């Protein structure tokens, strides 16, 4: 009799542990788009479009916390792993300003006054006490899910994400983030990335990128509307980008060379000049 009770106890214990294990597995593996979480993630990663270059015209609407918006016409050029260029040319196609981001530096050029700001990511991170990198900024512009320190997310990296089903979308959260928290929302049916949010832990500050109006570009679909917003600052800071005439053209210079006529200046001075503050 004692032995029977003992085995019944063991069976019940195994059953409870199995149920708990199944419950935990269900939490880790929600059903998304008719697939288990891991299967859905693998499908999204397998279907990542791989563009070497993306270019297009962009209508910019810059909100800097005041009631007045700044609207500009520009050209956006990106080459994977090399550079992001934003060339502002509002008058007759003549460039008046340029922002160039590469793994080596961030370069902001004021063509009208022949001035520029140049700083490395090491300098920028020292100023902001953050951990930004070229790969992170590139992924934001290229509508990509990313992991800090990785050039590209692969199937082997999927355990680093926590997956949650949210209606018609899936939420990806980076598990091992420290100072910055990273969240991505993708559509359950097509796996398109619709929202990326980077949060500063312990504060209300967040950088939110929203993507919409997807259209065919090369082997995949690229958003024709990108909205970048700074949240938690108390005022509305945002950059609204409407893209058109998109292509995968590679025939353009990836590095900006400046003549000796240009004078280097401090970042704060240039921002004050551009933002009128």
Closest to 88 measured CA to CA, from 100, 106, 74? 74
Q: Do residues 211 and 223 lie in contact, with contact meaning Cβ atoms separated by under 8 Å?
A: yes
Q: Do residues 134 and 148 lie in contact, with contact meaning Cβ atoms separated by under 8 Å?
A: no
Q: Report the predicted TM-score, pTM, of the whole model to 2 decimal places.
A: 0.82
From first to last of its 277 residues, what are the pLDDT tens digits of the chain?
433 333 333 333 333 333 343 333 334 567 887 888 889 999 999 888 888 899 999 999 988 776 678 888 999 999 999 999 999 988 777 899 999 999 989 999 999 999 999 999 888 888 877 778 899 999 999 999 999 888 889 999 999 999 999 999 999 999 988 788 999 999 999 999 999 999 988 888 899 999 999 999 988 999 999 999 988 877 778 999 999 999 998 889 999 999 999 999 887 776 666 555 5
What pLDDT shows up at residue 192? 94
Q: Around Cβ 212, how many Cβ atoms within 10 Å?
A: 12
Helices (H), the chain: 2-28, 37-46, 121-128, 134-141, 267-275
What pLDDT shows up at residue 24? 38
Q: Around Cβ 243, how many Cβ atoms within 10 Å?
A: 20
Distance (Å, rounded) from C-alpha 88 to C-alpha 34? 44
Angle value at C-alpha 79, between 268 and 158, nearest 5 degrees: 95
């Amino acid at each position: 009799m004692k032995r029977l009770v003992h085995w019944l106890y063991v069976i019940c214990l195994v059953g409870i542990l199995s149920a708990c294990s199944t419950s935990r597995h269900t939490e880790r593996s929600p059903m998304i788009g008719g697939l288990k979480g891991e299967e859905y993630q693998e499908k999204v990663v397998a279907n990542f479009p791989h563009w070497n270059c993306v270019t297009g015209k962009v209508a910019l609407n810059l909100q800097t916390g005041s009631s007045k918006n700044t609207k500009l016409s520009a050209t956006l050029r990106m080459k994977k792993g090399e550079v992001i260029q934003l060339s502002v040319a509002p008058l007759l196609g003549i460039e008046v300003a340029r922002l160039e981001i590469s793994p080596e530096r961030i370069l902001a050029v004021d063509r009208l006054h022949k001035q520029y700001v140049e700083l490395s990511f090491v300098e920028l991170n020292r100023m902001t006490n953050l951990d930004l990198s070229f790969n992170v900024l590139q992924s934001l512009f290229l509508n990509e899910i990313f992991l800090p320190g990785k050039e590209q997310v692969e199937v082997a990296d999927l355990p680093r994400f926590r997956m949650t089903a949210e209606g018609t979308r899936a939420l990806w959260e980076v598990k091992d983030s420290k100072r910055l928290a990273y969240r991505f929302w993708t559509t359950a049916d097509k796996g398109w990335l619709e929202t990326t949010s980077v949060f500063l832990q312990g504060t209300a500050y967040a950088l939110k990128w929203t993507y919409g109006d997807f259209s065919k570009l090369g082997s995949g679909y690229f958003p024709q509307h990108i909205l970048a917003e700074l949240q938690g600052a108390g005022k509305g800071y945002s950059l609204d980008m409407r893209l058109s005439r998109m292509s995968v053209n590679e025939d353009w210079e990836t590095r900006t060379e400046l003549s000796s006529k240009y004078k280097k200046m401090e970042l704060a001075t240039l921002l004050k000049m551009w933002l009128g503050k």
